[in-house]
Chains A and B, each alone.
Chain A
Amino acid sequence: MSNEHVFDKYLRQDKLPHMWCPGCGNGIVINAMIRAIEKTGINQDDVVVVSGIGCSSRANGYVDFCGLHTNHGRALPYATGVKMQNPNLKVIVVTGDGDCTSIGGNHFIHACRRNIDITTIVFNNNNYGMTGGQFSPTTPTNSKTKTTVYGNIDTPFDICNLAQTAGASYVARSTVYHATMLVNQIAEAINHKGFSVVEAVCDCPTLFGRLNKIGAAPEMLLNFKDRAVTVAQSKKMTQEELQGKIVIGKFLEDAERPEYSDRYQDVINIAKGGK
C-alpha cells in the first residue's frame, strides 16, 4: 500500500467540487467505495465503474478509474458486455434506487439471475433526486414526494430481498451513518466472485428529508442510526416490530454458486472440442 491518501489516489481532483447538494449522502458512499477498493488492492487500471442516469450515476465521474456513464437504467447490461469481453476486469456498477429497480429493474433481476461477477452499489435515497424528488420504487408507503403530495400509496421494494430472490450471491445493506460497515461490505462484495449487491441507504436532505420533515443531513443520519437493526437482531423481531426499521448487515454470501463468465469459459472449452 502506498503512502498516498485514498482521496489523492482515487478521486479526480479536477472534477471536484461535485454537483451534489450540501449534505447529500452520495459522497459518503464514494468515500466508502474508494476505501474498499484500496482495501482489496486491485489494480486501478483494471477497474471499470459503470453507471446509469441520476444523482448517484454521476459518481463514476469523480473517481479515477475507467468509467462508462450510460443511459437511464442500463448500467448493468453495459457492464455485462464489459465483463464478458474482458473477465479480468473488476466491474463495479454505481446506481440509484430508481435507476436500478424501476427503469432498470428487469436488467437488475437478470444480472442477479446470471450471477455474473459484477459488484452493484445501489445508492438508495428513496426518491428521484436528479429530477427534483419524485417517488421511486423504494419510497416508503405514505411518504411525501413531489408526485405523492397526498402520501405514497405504493408498496416499496426491499432491494436486498429482491436481489436474493433473483439469484445474487452476495447481498448486504448499510447506511451512510454506518460508513465503516459500508466500506467492509463493498470490499467483501468486490472480492466476492459472483453478482454482489450492496445497498447503501443514503440521505437526500434537499428533497426526501425536507418533504417528509425528517430534517437536514445530521438529523437524517441520526434517523438512520435510530432505525437500524442488524440482520441478527431482525431475526428475533416480529413483522410489526420491523416496521420502519432498516435492517443492516450481510444477508447472503454464497461462494459456491457458479459465476457466469466462468461458466461461459466452460462453453468455450466444449465448443473447442474439449470436455
Chain B
Amino acid sequence: MAEKFEIMTGNEACTRAAMAAGMNFFAGYPITPATEIAELSSEWLPKIGGKYMQMEDELAAIAAVIGASCAGAKAMTATSGPGYSLMQENLGYAMVAEVPLVVAYAMRQGPCQGVATMPAQGDIMQVKWGVHGDHPVIAVAPDSVSEVYSETIRAFNLAEKYRNPVFILTDAMLAHMSERVRIPDASEYEVVNRKRPTVDPKDFKPYEDDGTGIPPMASFGDGYRWYVSGLIHDETGFPVANNPQLTSNVVKHICGKIDNNVADIEKYEEYMTEDAEILFVSIGLVSRSVKDAIQQARREGIKAGLFRPITVWPFPETRLAELSKKVKKVVVCEMNEGQLYHVVRESTGNTPVEQVTQNTGKIITADTVLAAIREAE
C-alpha cells in the first residue's frame, strides 16, 4: 500500500487525528489560536453522526465534554490560556470523577489576554497546577505537525485507558503552521476504548478497583445505574465526608494512576546525547531550533545534545537524572520566564542548570540558542 502524505496545519492534524482516534463529541468556545479545531470538528463530526456543540463559554464547553463522556462519548475540547483558565473547576471534576477527555491546548503569549496570535510556553505549570488540590495530569507536547497527529491519537488512548483528562500542548505557531504529515493507515495504530463493566448491574460499584487500578466505566443509559460526584467519594461514587482514610485513599488513587504507570505514559526524545557535554532540555516547537543549533555547534566541535520530553507531565525525570550525571551542564530553553527550569533542577542533582528564555511572542531561533551554547562553553 502506498504511503499517504498530506500538507496540513497543526490544528488540522489535531482534528484529523482526533477523528481517527474515535472522537465523536466536541464542545468548545471560539478562541485564538485553537479555533480551527472547533471549526473542523463542526464540519466533520456530523458526517459520522458525531456531535459538535458551541457552548456559551469555556466553563460550559468542558462541562458538556464531561457530560458527554459520562454518556459514552470520546470527547474533546480545544482552547488557549484564557479559556483554559475558565476550565479549571470542571477539569478538577473530571480528575476526581475519573472522566476521560482530551483538551487540545494551543498556548499563546502572555498572562491574561496577552497576545492572542503569538506563541509562548507560559502555561506549562498551569497545565499541571491550574486545578486546585492534588490531582493527576497527563500532558503531551509535540514538536511538529506530524507529531501533533500521532500524539493526539495517543492522547485519546491515554485518556480512555487511565480515565483522566489528557492535554495536547501546542502553541500559536505549531497550531497554524503547515507541514507534510504522513497519514498512518488505521491498521498501524491502536485505538483504545475505555474498559466497560461486565458485572450484573445490581452489583456494579463505579469506583471499585478491579485489580488494575483503573475501574471500568459505565455510560449513562447502558443499564448501569451509577452516581458521579466531584466530592470525595467511596467505591459507590457517593460523597463521604469526615473519613480521613478514605479521603487520603481517593487522592492517592487518582494521582497513583499516573505515578504508578509512568513507564507506560512517559515519552521523550534524545538527540545527540551519547557524548553530549552540554545537555539542552526543551519541549515543543522550540526544540527544533535547539536541534539546529546543536548541529551547528557540533560543526564547531562543541558536544551538545537535547533531551526533549514529549510528555511534559508526567515529566520524564528518571532519564533526565541519568543523563545529567554525564554532562557538564544542562541548559533549559523555553519561551517563558523559566518554568521547565524548576522541574529540570529537581532531576539534575549537582549539575549546573542554565536558562535560555524568551518572552517576545517569537520562536527562539537557532542563532539565539547557538549563542547560548558558545557562552556555555
Interface residues of B (CB under 8 A from A): 25, 27, 43, 46-47, 49, 51, 53, 55-57, 59-61, 63-73, 75, 89-90, 93, 219-221, 223-231, 238-239
A74 at the interface (CB under 8 A from B): yes
A116's nearest neighbour on chain B, judged by CB, is: B53
**Least CB distance, B43 to chain A, in whole angstroms:** 8
> What total count of A-B pairs have CB within 8 Å?
139
Query: Contact: A81 with B68, CB < 8 Å?
Result: yes
- In the assembled complex, A79 has its CB within 8 A of some CB on chain B: yes
Interface-side segment among A22-30, A156-164, A191-199, A265-273? A265-273
Instruction: Name which residue of chain A comes closest to B46, CB basis.
Output: A271
CA distance A216 to B131 in the complex (A): 41
Instruction: Find A81's partner among B59, B67, B231 (CB 8 Å cutoff).
Output: B67
Query: Which one of B55, B60, B68 contacts A82 once the chains associate, using CB atoms below 8 Å?
Result: B68
The proximity string for A residues 240-275 relative to B, scoring 1 for CB distances below 8 Å and 0 otherwise, is 000000000000000000000000100110111000
Q: A46-B221, A85-B51, A86-B220 are in contact. Are A66 and B67 (CB under 8 A)?
A: no
State whether B68 touches A85 (Cβ < 8 A): yes
A64 contact set on B, CB distance < 8 A: 225
How far is the CB of B233 from the nearest CB of chain A, in Å? 9
Residue pair B67, A50 in contact (C-beta under 8 Å): yes
Partner of B46 from A61, A77, A272 at Cβ < 8 Å: A272
Chain A: interface residue total (CB-CB under 8 A): 39
How far apart are the CA atoms of A44 and B226 in the complex, in Å? Answer: 12
Instruction: Decide yes or no whether A70 CB sits under 8 A from chain B.
Output: yes
CB nearest to B57 among chain A residues: A106
Q: Does A107 contact B (CB under 8 A)?
A: yes
Interface check A20, CB cutoff 8 A? no
Q: In the docked arrangement, what's the CA distance between A61 and B226, Å? A: 10
**Do A69 and B239 form a contact, CB below 8 Å, given A48-B221, A85-B68?**
yes
Residues of A within 8 A of B68 (CB): 81-82, 84-85
Given contacts A71-B90, A84-B51, contact A77 B220 (CB under 8 A): no
Q: Do residues B221 and A89 form an inter-chain contact, with CB atoms below 8 A?
A: yes
> Does A236 sit within 8 A of B, measured CB to CB?
no
Contacts of A70 in B (CB 8 A): 63, 66, 90, 93, 230
Interface residues of A in 141-173 (CB under 8 A from B): none
Given contacts A48-B221, A66-B227, A85-B73, contact A106 B67 (CB under 8 A): no
Residues on the A chain within 8 Å of B220, using CB? 48, 66, 68, 82, 86, 89
Output the least CB separation between B30 and chain A (Å).
Answer: 15
Tell me the complex Cα distance, A272–B47, Å.
Answer: 5
Does chain B have a CB within 8 A of A67? yes
